[in-house]
Structure 1
Amino acid sequence: MSSIRVFILGALAERGPMHGHQLRLLAEKEHVHMWTDFRVGGIYGALNRMLAEQLIDPVRTEREGGRPERQIVRITDAGRAALDALRLGTLSAFALKPDPFDLALARVGKDLADELPDLLRSRRATVATAAEEHRARLEHVDRYLNLTERHVMAHQTYRLQAELDWLDSLLADLPAIVRAEQTRETD
């Protein structure tokens, strides 16, 4: 699933033709960096790829004052079909992606066993900071969100809290984990 494609094609379908800078401003206004897996600067490369795939078409170019010329694009019929397929696939599928952290934890080994407590406490502090920053941003933008967007933001809140709860459980079992790693024999 490509979040950036859903954003761009969805914006063009809902709002009509736009240029890349307008899409970037919309992404910033909607704070997509808080709840998607793409950065707003990636919009320009995605536009070029979608132009090549004929999911969007150039409509015209325009220039405002001394600014560079900007290409206005619109969604094509193929782009609308791709958007529908992306939305349907994303809304109906669940993907639990493996976290490389789990593999590193499972294979921490004797060499890092002594460092594991500090590493995990540091990770927990990082997640706690991210959760607090998320809460602060949410307080700042909450009044601008509709009900659906509030649920989207709550999804992030729940995911961050679940990670904190899991890390607390892991930290509680850490002495036994460290002992086991220090005495584990390799095959």
Structure 2
Amino acid sequence: MSATRLLVLGVVRMFGRAHGYQVRRELLSWSADKWANVQPGSIYHALKKMAAEDLLEKIDVEPGDGGPDRVAYRLSPAGEQEFQILIAKGLSDPAAGNAELCAAVSLMPALPRKYTISLLRQNLVHFEAEERRSRMSLEDDTWGKPAHVSELFRLWGGIASASREWLTGLIGRLEAGEYVMADDPGSAFAPPAPK
């Protein structure tokens, strides 16, 4: 899974139609270049690649100001399906990676509240198990490794604990009605553009 792919699909979906410069400007305003390593070249590459994969439809071409033409895109039905798959994986699967989780959290208002909570709970189960596994590894003195290797179990346990605490808090905030989600009045993210 690629955080850039999810973010580009999400921003095009949010605008209904967008060209590369709009996507780039929006993602830079979110500082996605820092937390997801999204670079201008990767945005344009993702747009072209996903258009070739029929996930995006080219809908308009505007002459560029002394540069290349600006191509406007919108999500195809396959692009909407890909967006739903990637955001669900980013919120629920810890193996997806940190950048992917960050991308999914930044786009989570595109999903209904209860569905988002259920996806986050799946991720929470993993971190609870990882925290227990790390604690058990520290308590097991028969594992036969050099003593200093136990610091890795402390590190992994600490990361799992911090992730669990953050997820528990986020789920609680969502359950309390914080953030405007897709099924709330005044949705922060537009539904997919009509075809």
Q: Give the TM-score normalised by the residue count of structure 2.
A: 0.47
Q: Which has the larger radius of gyration?
A: 1
TM-score (norm 1): 0.48
Structure 1 or 2: larger helix share?
A: 1
Q: Which has the higher contact order (CA 8 A, sep 6+)?
A: 2
